[in-house]
A and B are shown apart, each in its own frame.
Chain A
């Protein structure tokens, strides 16, 4: 027997907080399973009395849906041990009592992304900018793990997996070294990205300043200046690749949650989107896979990209449970 959520038909105007509380209760009821006919009626009656109620209910459902993202934390998530964010009181309290204003700051301190000791991790689809002790900052792309270990001689960051942009604070006495597998990248004060591919290849791209790249086992370092890049694979000489300013922007579009597909084939684009989302773009037809698509797309929206590609290339995009399929239209 479900408890009754009482339809509030008070004639006085409810406060926003009262409405939010009722809306949260309704969202929790909806979270339990489809509403019964009685519940549905009661909800509609409640919502009909004040337009703000339907809005609060929509917002409560959205917050509930957003909370489902917490599944990405995994079964190992131990909330009792996790740093706590204190939900601060409602702002109207502050508006009426200025003395409380200072207290709100507490609400945003005390939590940071998912850091474990000296490691910083982003899950698939997330981007995180992490400040380092020396004033440098690392922006982690999707599905990335870094580990920082600083001492008096060296600032060492291990790129365990994934891709990161390093904005390095100047400190001539302590070089900043990124270790990605067998590859080493050294900087003094600069901005550059390092991407560790699954097959061991490492890409380095310099936005500003100068960095040196070498393989861990020695060999002469390669010097890279702004707007140059290199790809380090298992063997072979290191080469400087010139990169236009616009291409540097494309290559760091991920910082804005975007993917820049300048001249990539659909096959390559599907692989790129797979870095950010578990919703796959399926392109079975090799002819379709070779088609090219250009543009800036939201990394978190493979379906949106597939629809855009379908429109501009005359394909058909079909949504499926775990992704979206791109294929030629039946009559073409």
Chain B
């Protein structure tokens, strides 16, 4: 696998990460025949990280959805999950083509406030290290000196912070909220409309 370069990570942060909640919400509403959304997302990033170039990607959002779809199809074809109907259903998946609404983008742009709130929620020592590193822009070495702890400890704190953000970001403000609401709706009132249920009738 090709490992992401720093430049590619910046591109992903800027053009892909903001759309991840929408991707997850979309995947969540689709029958995936047992595929885990987290796995699909990770493989999608792997492909985007491994692209030789990204300057031909004019609409990263759409591109990300298409890559995710290809991941699903490939997984089904590889026979990880053998289900002909699932394959047929996945073939018919249509990624949403519409551009996000102004409100969605505005919400994406509230990420700074969200970042602040997530940092605020970290355990005290971790929060201190993460703030010095990411808000004040000190190097990990300087953070260690400032806090009077080892660099390895600072690295662990930073890793913990990144882990918490990874967990929170994908689910994004609206995306996750909507996804969990959708789930409640479906579980409680729309069982009959769920294709996964219908298949067994």
Residues of A within 8 A of B (CB): 1-3, 16-17, 19-21, 23-25, 27-29, 31-33, 43-44, 47-48, 51-75, 77, 79-88, 90-92, 94, 98, 101-102, 104-105, 107-108, 110-114, 123, 125-129, 139, 255-257
Instruction: List residues of B (1-20) whose CB comes within 8 Å of A's CBs.
Output: 1-4, 6, 8-10, 12-13, 16-17
Please, could you name 14 A-B residue pairs with CB atoms under 8 Å apart, sorted by A? A16-B38, A28-B162, A31-B155, A52-B46, A55-B42, A55-B45, A55-B48, A59-B12, A63-B13, A67-B134, A87-B164, A91-B179, A104-B176, A128-B106
Interface centre among B2, B3, B121 (most CB of A within 10 A): B3
Query: Within 8 Å CB of B127, what residues of A?
Result: 79-80
Q: Which residue of A lies closest to B44 (CB)?
A: A55
> In the complex, which residues of chain A have a beta carbon less than 8 angstroms from the beta carbon of B177?
104-105, 107-108
Residue on A nearest B124 in the bound complex, by CB:
A80
Q: Evaluate contact between A84 and B120: CB separation under 8 angstroms.
A: yes
B13 contacts A58, CB within 8 Å?
no
* Option from B10, B111, B115, B120 in Cβ contact (under 8 Å) with A80: B120
Check B50 against A71 for contact (C-beta < 8 Å). no
Q: Assess A62 versus B167: contact at CB under 8 Å? Given A47-B1, A67-B161.
A: no
Q: Is B3 a contact partner of A94 (Cβ separation < 8 A)?
A: no
- Tell whether, in the assembled complex, residue A55 and residue B43 are in contact, meaning their CB atoms are under 8 Å apart: yes
**A residues within 8 A CB of B16?**
62
A234 and B41 alpha carbons, distance in the complex (Å): 55
Cβ of A110 to closest chain B Cβ, rounded Å = 7
Contact A63 B140 (CB under 8 A): no
Interface residue ranges, B against A (CB under 8 Å):
1-4, 6, 8-10, 12-13, 16-17, 28, 36-39, 41-50, 102-103, 105-107, 109-122, 124, 127, 130-131, 133-137, 139-141, 151-152, 155-156, 158-171, 173-174, 176-177, 179-180, 183-184, 187
Instruction: Kindly count the residue-residue contacts between A and B in the assembled complex, taking CB atoms under 8 Å apart.
Output: 276
Asked whether, in the complex, the Cβ of B12 is within 8 Å of the Cβ of A91, the reply is no
Known: A62-B16, A87-B167, A257-B109. A56 touches B42 (CB 8 A): yes
Which among B28, B48, B105, B168 is the interface contact of A87 at CB below 8 angstroms? B168
> Closest CB-CB distance, B138 to chain A, in whole Å?
11
Are B168's CB and A54's CB within 8 A?
no
> Is A51 a contact of B46 with CB atoms below 8 Å?
yes
B118 touches A85 (CB 8 A): yes
Q: For B167, what are the chain A residues with a Cβ–Cβ distance below 8 Å?
A: 20, 87, 90
